[in-house]
Amino acid sequence: MKQQLNLGLIGVGRIGKVHGEHLAYRIPRARLAAISDVNLAEAKAFGGKLGIGKIEADHHALLNDPEIDAVVICSPTDLHAVMIEEAAAAGKHIFCEKPIARTLKEIDKALDAVKKAGVKLQIGFNRRFDANFARVRRAIASGEIGEPHLLHIISRDPGPPPIAYVKVSGGIFLDMTIHDFDMARFLIDEDVEEVYAAGAVRVDPAIGDAGDLDTALVTLKFKGDALGVIDNSRKAVYGYDQRVEVLGSAGAATVANNHPNTAVISDAASVRRDLPLNFFMDRYLDSFLVEVTAFVDAVLDDKPTPVDGVDGRAAVALGIAARRSYEENRPVRLEEIEA
């Protein structure tokens, strides 16, 4: 068995840098062997700091390098699917940021390529690896709270993205709720059969003008008759609000937000805490390390990856169904999306 995995990192934007540092310093079984970015100067600056020998503008140089076992794709979303196909064709194992693509057709083409090549694929739904949500999953998986009956996911951003981004984001259900769709499937460990999405524009009229929503409640009906609801807002003034709650036949599991410290201040006005962590990178930093470590382990130990192509596809399908439900104001069955 190979002892260490040689990886190539494609794209050194914000999330690429996080994965790069983790691979270079914090995952003993990984070796970051090469980096590529169309912005070569940026790639060199980052790679130089990490002491990486091979730094390229063109990612094909990584795919063609026989020393490289696996690639971590952190390019813009519209390149994910084609890069997956290329990497699969080159026989590289693949960790790819979410979403795979915004249409099921593109996704299916990419997943076919992966299947044919027989390489491993992991999609970057990092929240599954967060200590809070993983604990809730364990509460369900272990039977600690019995059969799941009701699920709540609260997922609110501290503030909306720029309108320019909103316009190309694919809409709230594919851009933001997609994480929560994956969380729902992860926690309950079942497919969703039907979706009903209620939405509103409450945060910023410009988001509505761009044809999108900023406030939503999405009802989920799971295959096994559990019910769930996802609460999304583009703006929680108190910070990044990331909570879930599951009621089961034998108990409930619920998580609170993460705060920068545990201090409580009591004065003549109130008993208070500092605000929860405000930035997704602070909130989820550990989860990025754990997910990539899991990918490295899956490849080296030849185990299934913990988040595969089916998971990546299902979240997108739910996003598409939610949008249709909102537009037609009716429950939409997932099988309609496949038709």
Residue 165 vs 238, nearer CB to a second copy: 238
Site for a second copy in 94-153 (CB under 8 A): 131-132, 134-136, 139, 144-145, 147, 149-150, 152
CA atoms of 310 and 206, how far apart (whole Å): 35
> What character string, x for contact with a second copy (CB under 8 A) and - otherwise, covers 36-55?
-------------x-x----
Q: Under rule CB under 8 A, which residues in 68-97 are in contact with a second copy?
A: none
List binders of a second copy among 235-264 (CB under 8 A).
235-239, 241, 247, 249-264
d(CA 204, CA 300) in angstroms, rounded, equals 47
Q: CB–CB of 236/157 below 8 Å?
A: yes
Query: For residues 21 and 14, is the Cβ–Cβ distance under 8 A?
Result: no
User: Could you give the CA distance from residue 151 to residue 142 in angstroms, rounded to a whole number?
Assistant: 17
Q: DSSP assignment of 191-247, as one string?
A: -EEEEEEEEE--S-HHHHHTT--SEEEEEEEETTS-EEEEEEES--TT--EEEEEEE
Residue 24: phi, psi to the nearest 5? -75, -40
Q: In what order do the strands lie in the sheet with 5-10?
A: 54-56, 30-36, 5-10, 70-73, 93-96, 121-123
CB of 97 to a second copy, least distance (A): 23
Q: At closest approach, how far in Å is the CB of 213 from a second copy?
A: 10
The rounded distance, in Å, linking the Cα atoms of 67 and 76 is 25
**CB nearer a second copy, residue 42 or residue 308:** 42
Nearer to a second copy, 164 or 256 (CB): 256
Binding mask 268-307 for a second copy (x = CB under 8 A): xxxxxxxxx-------------------------------
Among 267, 304, 338, 339, binds a second copy (CB under 8 A): 267
Q: Kindly write down the DSSP assignment for every residue of 55-87, as one continuous string.
A: EESSTHHHHT-TT--EEEE-S-HHHHHHHHHHH
Identify residues 18-37 at the interface with a second copy (CB under 8 A).
24-26, 28
What's the closest the beta carbon of residue 278 comes to a second copy, in angstroms?
10
176 lies in the site for a second copy, by CB under 8 A: no
Closer by beta carbon to a second copy, 76 or else 251: 251
Give one word for 91, left, alpha or beta, with left for phi > 0 and alpha for psi -120 to 50. left
Instruction: Give least dist CB 100 to a second copy, A.
Output: 29
- Taking CB under 8 A as the criterion, which residues in 181-220 touch a second copy? 196, 198-203, 215-217, 219
Residue 103, C-beta contacts closer than 8 angstroms, at least 6 positions apart: 316
Which residues, other chains included, contact 115 with Cβ-Cβ below 8 Å and sequence gap of 6+?
A: none
User: For a second copy, which stretch binds (CB under 8 A), given 77-85, 183-191, 267-275, 302-310?
Assistant: 267-275
Size of the site for a second copy (CB under 8 A): 77
**Residue number with CB closer to a second copy (52 or 101):** 52
Whose Cβ is closer to a second copy: residue 91's or residue 205's?
205
3-state secondary structure of 252: strand
